[in-house]
Structure 1
Amino acid sequence: MALSIWEALAVFAAGIGAGTINVIVGSGTLLTFPVLLATGLPPVTANVSNTLGLVTGNISGVVGYRRELRGQGRRIALFGGTALVGGLAGAVLLLALPSKAFDTIVPALIGLALVLVVLQPRLARALARRHERNGTEAPAHGGPVLLIGLLLASAYGGYFGAAQGVMYLSLMGLLLSDQLQRINALKNVLALVVNGVAALFFLFVASFDWRAVLLIAAGSTLGGQLGARIGRRLPPTALRGVIVAVGVVAIVQMLLR
C-alpha cells in the first residue's frame, strides 16, 4: 500500500513522539498504532510494523541512558533473559489469539501499575522497615516475585506493548532498592529485548509494511535521543507524574477502542 506524502509525514512524526515517550516512560505505541491504522493498515499488520520500527528507537534510548546502566550488568543479564522469554511468548500470542483476549484485563493491569508507581516511595520504605524488624535483607535483584512480574509484563509487551514501560517501572521501583533513573535505564534495556525478539519473530512469520517500518524507525531513533536528554533531567517526582499521565491516557484509549 502506497502512503501519501502527508501520511508518510504523520507516521514519521508519530515515530519521533513514540521514540521520545518510550525512553522517558514507555507507551509510544499509543501514538504510532492509531496513526498506522489511519493510513489503512490492518490492525495486526500495523502492530507488527510498529514493533519492527520502534526497535531502533529502543536502541537509541539505551545508548542515551548508558551512564545509568553502569554497574547493572548482572541485572541486565537476569532480567534480559526473563524479558526474552516473555517477549517471544507474547509475539506468538499476537498471531494465535484475537486482540479482544487482552482488552478487558490490560486496563486493570495498567491501573494497578499506576497505583504502585504513586505509592512506590511509601511502599518501599514499609518493605525496608519490615526487613529491618525481621533482620532480613531484601533480595538483591528483587526475588522471584519481580521475575514473575517481569515475565508477564514482557509477554504483554510482545503482544501489544502500550504502557509496558509503566508496568516495568512500577514493578522494579517497588522491589529494587535503587534510584528511579537507573531503573528507567534498565526499563529501556528490557523494552529493547522484548521489541527485538518480537521483531525478529515477526520478520519470518507475519506481514508488515516496509514503508511504515522505515518511517517509524527513522523517527523513533531521533526521538530516542531526545527522550534520553529529557528523561535524564527529570527529578523522581516529575518522572512519576509523567508516568501516571501517560498511563491514564493509555487506560482511557484502551477503554474507548
Structure 2
Amino acid sequence: MSAVQALLLAAAGFLGGAVNAIAGGGSLIVFPALVATGYGPLAANVTNSLAQWPGYLGGVAGFRTELAGQRRRVRSLSIVGVAGAVVGCAVLLLTPPSTFDAVVPFLVLLASVLLAVQPRIRRLVGTPTAGAPDNVRILFPAMFVAGGYGGYFGGALGVVLIGLLSLTIHDTLRRINALKASLSATVATVTIVIFGLFGPVNWAGVLVVAPMALVGGYTGARVARRLDDRVLRWSVVLFGVTVAVLLYLREQ
C-alpha cells in the first residue's frame, strides 16, 4: 500500500465514520475507496465492514445522553438485529452477491422516502401521547430484515434503520438517531466476528481505516446533536437518495 493509498483510505475512514453517525451510509465512502485502491468487491465489502466498526462505537459514545432511558429498546432490538445479521453474513459468504446487490438501491430509496413522509404519516394516524408504546409487531420483523441487510452488505444501513425506527417508535428523531447508532454498532459487531473468522479480510486496510472511523464517528455524533429534527430528517433523506443513486450506478 502506497502513502497516497493510505491517505485516501484514512480520509475515507474519517468521513465514513462521521456520515454513519449523522445519517448513515458511510460505506458508500469507504467501499469505493477500498475498490479504488485495488481491492476486489467481496474483499472490499468484508474489509469495509470490519474497518468501520470503531466508527460505530464512536457514534454510540457521542450519543450517550440521547441513549439514556432507552436500555430496554436497545436490548430487545439488539437481540433481533443479531439474529438477522448472522443470517445476512451467512448468505454473503455462501452465495453470490449479485441478486441482492441489484435490489439494494431500491431498499435504500424506500427507506429515504419513508423518512421523508414520516411527519405526514404521523399526522394521518394521529399524534401519539407521551409514552405511547412502540409498534413492535412491525418493528421487530423489520429489525430482523435490517440486521440481515447489514450482515450482507451494510451500505446505508443507518438510512434503512432510521427510516423504519421513525415510523414505529414514538420519540424525537434525535433519540431515534442515537438508537440507530447503537443498533448499527451491534450489527457491525456480528459482522466483525463472522467475517474476521471466515471472510477475505485485508487487515492492512482495516488498520488504516478503523482508527479514523472511530474519530469520525465521535465527531459526527457531536455534530448531529446540534441539529434540530427537521434539519436532521432532510439531511438524512437527501443523503439517502444520493446513496441510492450511487448504488444503482455502481450496478450498471
Query: Alpha-carbon deviation of 1:138?
Result: 9.1
- Out of 230, 234, 238, the position equivalent to 1:237 is 230
- SS of the residue corresponding to residue 126 of structure 2 reads helix
Task: Give the residue type in structure 2 aligned to 1:79.
Answer: L
CA distance in structure 2 between the aligned counterparts of 1:184 and 1:247, rounded to whole angstroms: 14
Contact 1:111 1:251 in 2 (8 A): yes
- Residue 106 of structure 2 corresponds to which residue in structure 1? 108
- Taking the TM superposition and a 5 Å limit, the aligned residue runs for 1:142-221 are 142-221=135-214
- Secondary structure of 1:104's counterpart equals helix
Match of 2:249 in 1: 256
Q: Deviations over 1:69-118 (max 9, x none)?
A: 00001100110111111111111111122121113322222222111111
Q: Distance in 1 between matches of 2:174 and 2:228?
A: 9
- Let me know the Cα RMSD of the aligned residues: 1.6
Contact 2:49 2:192 in 1 (8 A): yes
1:139 Cα offset (Å): 6.6
Identity of aligned residues (%): 39
Does residue 91 of the first structure (1) align with residue 89 of the second (2)?
yes
Contact 1:128 1:138 (C-alpha < 8 Å) held by counterparts: no
Report the CA distance between 1:241 and its aligned residue: 1.5
Report the 3-state secondary structure (helix = DSSP H, G, I; strand = E; otherwise coil) of the residue aligned with 1:168: helix
Q: Distance in 2 between matches of 1:140 and 1:80?
A: 18
- Residues 111-142 of structure 1: CA distance to partner in whole angstroms, max 9, x if unpaired? 2211111111121232236x89xxxx997232
The normalised TM-score by structure 2 is 0.95
Gap regions ≥5 residues in structure 2: none
Shift of residue 50, structure 1, vs aligned partner: 0.9
1:29 is aligned to 27
Residue of structure 1 in register with 2:58 after alignment = 60
Q: Distance in 2 between matches of 1:144 and 1:138?
A: 17
The answer (yes or no) to whether the contact 2:132–2:170 under 8 Å persists in 1 is no
Q: Within 1, Cα distance between the matches of 2:26 and 2:135?
A: 27
The C-alpha deviation readout for 1:208-239, integer Å capped at 9, x for no partner, is: 11110011111101101110111111111111
Match of 1:222 in 2: 215
* TM-score of the two chains, using structure 1 as the length reference: 0.93
Aligned letter for 2:180?
K
- Per-residue CA deviation, residues 194-217 of structure 1 (Å, 9 max, x unaligned), is 111011011111121111001111
Q: Distance in 2 between matches of 1:193 and 1:16?
A: 20
Instruction: Give yes or no for the alignment of 1:17 onto 2:10.
Output: no
Write the distance in 1 (CA, Å) between the matches of 2:82 and 2:132: 22
- AA paired with 2:64? R
How many residues are matched?
A: 250
Whichever residue aligns with residue 58 of structure 1, its letter is: Y
CA distance in 1, matches of 2:188, 2:231: 27
**Secondary structure at the counterpart of residue 197 of structure 1:** helix
Counterparts of 2:189 and 2:125 in 1: how far apart (Å)?
A: 34
> In structure 2, which of residues 43, 46, 53 is the aligned counterpart of residue 45 of structure 1?
43
Residue 171 of structure 1 deviates from its aligned partner by 0.9
Equivalent in the alignment of 2:239:
246
